Copies of this chain bind each other. A is one copy, B any other.
Amino acid sequence: MIGRLNHVAIAVPDLEAATATYRDTLGATVSEPVPQPAHGVTVVFVTLPNTKIELLHPMGEKSPIQGFLDKNPAGGIHHVCYEVEDILAARDRLKEQGLRVLGDGEPRLGAHDKPVLFLHPKDLYGTLVELEQA
């Protein structure tokens, strides 16, 4: 069911410094910072030949990654995102198998304007997983 790894999201306390490290030190192609107020984050996209890294920094007072950075002040890998062909079918199958979908269980538009859901990390061995409709 899961398809491509769409991205790995890394929360960072200093977006400018992290962007410079990925661009200048690791030699990767990075985007400008993209504010995403609806998601409470500013994102820098790091383009790799086969997938993306997304550097996330909190935006606003209710950012969903603030708690993670409070626990991990240096930053860290926040989640992985797998693509699925049909997000509603994927959700229903996973719920039947006992996995918990975060929030109200309805997909919402994610950072790439496609429907996304998040699965509870306790059901996936400590890994927060985002599903995105391909």
- Copies of this protein in the complex: 2
Q: Contacts A18-B125, A26-B82, A124-B21 hold; do A5 and B2 have CB atoms under 8 A apart?
A: no
Report A103 CB to chain B, min CB distance, Å: 20
Q: Contacts A28-B1, A50-B50, A82-B48 hold; do A125 and B10 have CB atoms under 8 A apart?
A: yes
Interface string of A9-35 (1 = CB under 8 A from B): 011111001100100111110000000
Chain B residues lying within 8 Å of A99, measured Cβ to Cβ, are 25
B51 near A51 with CB under 8 A, answer: yes
For window 69-128 of A, CB contacts with B under 8 Å fall at: 72, 74-77, 80, 82, 94, 97, 99, 121-122, 124-127
